Amino acid sequence: MMTGEQYIESIRRMKMHIFCLGEELETAVGHPMLQPALNSVKMTYDLAQDAEYKELMTVVSPLTGKIINRFTNLHQNTDDLINKVKMQRVLGQKTASCFQRCVGMDAMNAVYSTTYDIDQKYGTNYNERFKKFIIRCQEEDLTVDGAMTDPKGDRSLPPHLQADPDLYLRVVDRRADGIIVRGAKVHQTGICNSHEVLVMPTIALGEEDRDYAVSFAVPTDTEGITMIIGRQSCDTRKLEDSCRDAGNCRFGGVEALTIFNDVFVPNERIFMDGETKYAGLLVERFAGYHRQSYGGCKAGVGDVLIGATALAAESNGVAKASHIKDKLIEMIHLNETLYACGIACSCEGHKTPSGIYDIDTLLANVCKQNVTRFPYEIARLSQDIAGGLMVTAPSEKDRTNPETAPFIEKYLAASSSFSTSDRLKILRLIENLTLGSAAVGYLTESMHGAGSPQAQRIMISRQGSLEKKKDFARSILDIN
């Protein structure tokens, strides 16, 4: 396994095609807006080297028998599923941000079981190809970006009827040695911090959309791949001399619009090509795993926000007020409910024909449905307790300016237990988590990541066994 420093150097050596704020970057490493996101991924490597977290962060590979980073694991039992969620909560606590390796881990497990099913149906050898890819990721401890979401264009139309056929990623040419693909994937979390990108279809497909039923993996610096970094709220604060106004200048997340402009994929890297009947299954399996993930990572970030809110209450001198205590209790209750659903859908997991374990689909969707709501209420209560100074505090440059510093120190002081400087640092962290760049990972991602709220409600409807529940009532009432 790589150390955190070895991971950073491995990304530095890659020749990715990255644009940020209109400029092309030689590397994501060292850029003030992107380095915090790299630091978050680095934490997944650092903790795997830490004896205190080794049991949680590492596991024995079922393919090689060697110890590997859990982010490259294929789940072998419900303990693996549970430990995944526990690991994600710890990393959320350590970074207060998105640590970006979850999508790839969830994609690897979904693609593995689906390629097995395709091979059983059609006699293909996708699973064997994918197994070799997984072993390489485990042996080299690679970070993999999972790429599912297409731009979609006019969402009332299937891919083959779009005015521009490239609005869903597709195969544009097939050769003896591989395929050529064209299109884009949007909202790509952490792709500029990843060694490989694992592409999947984004919706269930019919036979007319055969060219869109494609899954493959290529290195992120493959010719034809371009990443355009997405803007985040308050992101340019990281460009300032002092990072204190950023709230969390150590860690962060990053997303990108990723273009595949006639990218060549060799045969050994293709894991689905035209098997439309399995596109929807792959989407559902990936979505289930990723909806499980949110019960861990969002609870971990919530722990940090709750802690910062409690500190803000203390610095304001209101920690003993009964209504403040009650609001903090409600925040904890909501946060633990998120975690409970993540653990529950893991405990109720089941073995797939491929041998790896999948989560309980209904409970995973209930978990994610809660995630679309509870973090917003937690954030609202945090802002309520923190007070308006969270968004009206003067800048760090004003706090350190000899002419203005004495006024800020005098008039923004509160509890004698906290310096004015520390009080403002706490408020900036709350601002970052509920309104700033971290709010992308904590709030907006909670709403739209792993599918919008309606996507979960559709799955809850399908999995809710309403007819069986009606039978329970009929049985009690003796109604035929």
Regarding predicted confidence, which is higher, 242 or 231? 231
pTM of the predicted model, to two decimals? 0.96
In this model, does residue 242 exceed pLDDT 80?
Answer: no
- Catalytic residue at 7? no
How does residue 238 score in pLDDT terms, banded at 50, 70 and 90? very high
Percent of the chain having pLDDT more than 90?
98
Q: Could you read off the pLDDT of 418-453 as tens digits, one per residue? A: 999 999 999 999 999 999 999 999 999 999 999 999
Catalytic residue among 196, 255, 284, 431: 255
Catalytic residue among 112, 212, 294, 339: 294
Q: Which pLDDT belongs to residue 175?
A: 97
Catalytic residue among 102, 249, 341, 367: 102
> Rounded to the nearest 10 degrees, what angle do helices 35-46 and 4-13 cross at?
140
Q: Which pLDDT belongs to residue 110?
A: 98
| CA–CA dist 476, 243 (Å, integer) | 64
How does residue 240 score in pLDDT terms, banded at 50, 70 and 90? confident
Residues annotated within the binding site for FAD are: 189
Q: Which pLDDT belongs to residue 87?
A: 98
What is the pairing mode between strands 350-351 and 357-358? antiparallel
Residue 246 maps to a domain? no
Residue 221 maps to a domain? no
Regarding predicted confidence, which is higher, 108 or 241? 108
Which of these, 99, 109, 100, lies nearest to 133 by C-alpha position? Answer: 109
- Catalytic residue at 347? no
Q: Which pLDDT belongs to residue 480?
A: 84
Catalytic residue among 143, 149, 189, 420: 189
Catalytic residue among 196, 275, 431, 445: 445
Mean pLDDT of 333-359: 98
In this model, does residue 241 exceed pLDDT 90?
Answer: no
- Catalytic residue at 297? yes
- Catalytic residue at 31? no
Residues annotated within the binding site are: 189
Show the tokens assigned to 83. Answer: 């430990």
> Mean pLDDT for the chain?
97
Residue 210 maps to a domain? no
Catalytic residue among 297, 341, 345, 367: 297
Mean pLDDT of 179-204: 98
Q: Which pLDDT belongs to residue 456?
A: 96
Q: Could you read off the pLDDT of 49-78 as tens digits, one per residue? A: 999 999 999 999 999 999 999 999 999 999
| CA–CA dist 100, 38 (Å, integer) | 9
Q: Could you read off the pLDDT of 376-399 as tens digits, one per residue? A: 999 999 999 999 999 999 999 999
In this model, does residue 253 exceed pLDDT 80?
Answer: yes
Q: Which domain holds residue 373?
A: 282-467
Catalytic residue among 20, 98, 249, 345: 98
Percent of the chain having pLDDT more than 70?
100
Residue 380 maps to a domain? yes
Mean pLDDT of 314-340: 98
CATH number of the domain within which 415 lies: 1.20.140.10
- Catalytic residue at 20? no
Residue 223 maps to a domain? no
Residue 344 maps to a domain? yes
C-beta separation of 209 from 159 below 8 A = yes
Q: What is the total count of domains within the chain?
A: 1
- In one letter, which amino acid is 425? K
- Catalytic residue at 420? no
Residue 188 maps to a domain? no
Q: Which residue shows structure tokens 């890659």?
A: 14
Mean pLDDT of 85-111: 98
Q: Could you read off the pLDDT of 292-316 as tens digits, one per residue? A: 999 999 999 999 999 999 999 999 9
Catalytic residue among 149, 220, 290, 309: 290
Residue 300 maps to a domain? yes
Q: Which pLDDT belongs to residue 288?
A: 98
